Chain A
């Protein structure tokens, strides 16, 4: 295997690096897209089961072909571009929404050393990329030239921007504790003899909760989904979109969900580390543990949606600004003080 790679490297010369990187990108993006597709099915199944029904089971065994059928349907539908819209921005908005959600995966470490770009400022890169996603929403609302889409985009944009602040502060606590902005180092910082008790969700438990709840709000998921609010209003910023352009927004939403889930796993739940560093647990490859933790958090997303009623808009803003931001600020100070005492064990 190594010899084959070496041979190809010599054969291609300077073209080797771009091609090899492209292969790595494909290896990350294709599974993400498949996961997004099957997350939609998992969502319908899980919510169905929690509502004591079965969920889709007609397309393929156990409904396994349902995401493909949905995707095909959306691909074949017409993309209607409103005559009053700004066509260039209208078409580029969904792309702008999806790209950052995928670009952020560049710095995600799947296992020790298994990372596309081992950035030292990985955490900053993540924050920058997740913040960029809001442009897709603002531009989508504005370019539609429809008052409903515009109001919807304002609502979602305000929500996303508000919840980025507590998210950022929660991550500040993580980097204070780990003394690093490299995601791989953050995971390695959680490695200890006591297994899962060394993970950051124990000293940073309030931050873990705040980060995850803010992540739910950030991705416009239930119970913070007034951006879509399918049972009350038509939709938010994407009312004027149809066909594949509409599907891209959903791909972006689900890709963001997976990203938030994997980031929560990396920052607070020890990434690829096994819960106990003893025989049956550490025999499994690290990526298995990372994906298991990510799946659990994704299941929580769906569980939330099946359980909680939607927040009112003012309640959402109150939670973000009056609860989470003060709480995170206090906890930054608490962690800072705690780390100076001999009682800091992490």
Chain B
């Protein structure tokens, strides 16, 4: 009996018809493609994109040159040099992130005691040479100045979970 059933199943192409019914159903299903430049997937407030250095409202840089981010960076992508200013505070003279090395783990952001280095929601940027992706202090500060509104909003959203 089993043999006959198996024989009939094989010759009536039962499994093939089942498979085709499945793909046939999917033919009419809603398509999940996101048409990227026109449509975008939603981003969370913890999105880890391009880095930025922030300033306080009075215009002073947040970064105090503690080098925690440089120490924690697993890809050794951060380079910091510091000096003592006339008012006795320690500030960076150089703060470089090599985005070619960076793995966007977010540890620099986590380690920062003053929320100076942050990762923004920006993901659409490019470099035509490798050196274009070597971000210096002035470039990072410029990013921070440009997107400060969004950055502070995201930090505020995140602070509820800390």
Chain A interface residues (CB < 8 Å from chain B)? 46, 49-54, 209, 303-304, 306-308
Contact = CB atoms under 8 A, between A and B. Distances in A.
A51 B19 contact: no
A49 B33 CA distance: 10
A52 B23 CA distance: 9
B29 to A, nearest CB: 6
26 contacts: A46-B27, A49-B26, A49-B31, A50-B23, A50-B24, A50-B26, A50-B27, A51-B26, A52-B26, A52-B29, A52-B31, A52-B32, A53-B32, A53-B33, A54-B33, A54-B35, A209-B13, A303-B20, A303-B24, A304-B20, A307-B19, A307-B20, A307-B22, A307-B23, A308-B16, A308-B19
Interface of B: 13, 16, 19-20, 22-24, 26-27, 29-33, 35
Given A53-B33, A54-B35, 9 more contacts: A49-B26, A50-B24, A52-B29, A52-B31, A52-B32, A303-B20, A304-B20, A306-B23, A308-B19
A51 B16 CA distance: 17
Given A209-B13, A307-B20, A53 B27 contact: no
Contacts, number: 33
Contacts of B35: 54
A308 B19 CA distance: 8
Q: Which of B13, B23, B29, B30 has the most CB of A within 10 A?
A: B23
Contact of B27 (A49, A54, A304): A49
Contacts of B30: 52
A307 B26 CA distance: 11
Contacts of A46: 27
A49 B32 CA distance: 10
A303 B23 contact: yes
A78 B26 CA distance: 39
A50 B35 CA distance: 18
A53 B26 contact: no
Q: Which of A46, A303, A307 has the most CB of B within 10 A?
A: A307
Contacts of B31: 49, 52-54
Contacts of B13: 209
3 closest Cβ pairs, A-B complex = A307-B23, A50-B23, A54-B33
Nearest to B25: A50
Contacts of B16: 307-308
